[in-house]
Amino acid sequence: MSDFFLELFLDRMDTPIGELLIVADETGKLRATDWIDFESRMQGLLCRQYGKDRFRLQPARNPTGPRDALEAYFAGDVKAIDQVPVETAGTPFQRSVWSELRKIPSGAAISYGKLAERIARPKAVRAVGLANGANPIGIVVPCHRVIGSDGSLTGYGGGLERKRWLLEHERKNA
């Protein structure tokens, strides 16, 4: 058994679309975000990614800085999240999808098919969709910027109303 133990910090932030949970590590890397109504889902994700007894989640207010960027984002500086350092577990395929998500500019949206093409896996549209849905760091790793091939809003872990708000917010402030 490994002696690895991860110290994580949980911050809670009010936003125009609900309370946002922000999880960062002691080095300032963002590890997870989710909405208060999905806190148990986030806890389960952290357990799957890091091991049930391999991390400790401590309450803290902006312990390592990601809250500042997210506050700026919600205030209208939508590019403020572009340089937030992140760290994720996940498979190499998932991490490739999540990395590509960060390259979608604020105010833009692409289809799952286009995202699959961008990672040189054009036939992996369904797998790209699953990886997008498993993204632990919503908003900063902008899975909300992925839409259906017909331009429709499709699945978002925080709900379609939040996805719609985020896309409109970015288009107004890009």
Residue 16 lies in a domain: yes
Which residue from 127, 82, 137 is spatially nearest to 108, judged by alpha carbons? Answer: 82
Residue 59 lies in a domain: yes
- The per-residue pLDDT for range 13-68, each reduced to its tens digit, is 999 999 999 999 999 899 999 999 999 999 998 998 888 888 999 999 887 789 99
Distance between CA atoms of residues 16 and 25, nearest Å: 25
Measuring CA to CA, how many Å separate 30 from each of 39, 63, 159, 169?
Answer: 16, 11, 22, 22
H-assigned helices in 51-91 = 66-74
Residue 86 lies in a domain: no
Are 62 and 97 within one domain? no
pLDDT of res. 174: 86
Are 169 and 97 within one domain? yes
Contact call for residues 18 and 69 (beta carbons, < 8 A): no
Are 43 and 102 within one domain? no
Are 99 and 70 within one domain? no
Q: Which of 8, 45, 109, 143 is catalytic?
A: 143
Active site residue 47: no
Residue 106 lies in a domain: yes
Are 163 and 99 within one domain? yes
Are 13 and 42 within one domain? yes
Are 19 and 60 within one domain? yes
Are 147 and 120 within one domain? yes
- The per-residue pLDDT for range 97-156, each reduced to its tens digit, is 999 999 999 999 999 999 999 999 999 999 999 999 999 999 999 999 999 988 888 888
Q: Per-residue pLDDT averaged across 69-94, rounded? A: 95
Residue 87 lies in a domain: no
What CATH code is carried by the domain that includes residue 168?
Answer: 1.10.10.10
Q: Which domain holds residue 12?
A: 6-81
pLDDT of residue 82 exceeding 70, the answer is yes
Residue 1 lies in a domain: no
Domain boundary among 81, 103, 126: 81
Are 109 and 152 within one domain? yes
The structural domain count of the chain equals: 2
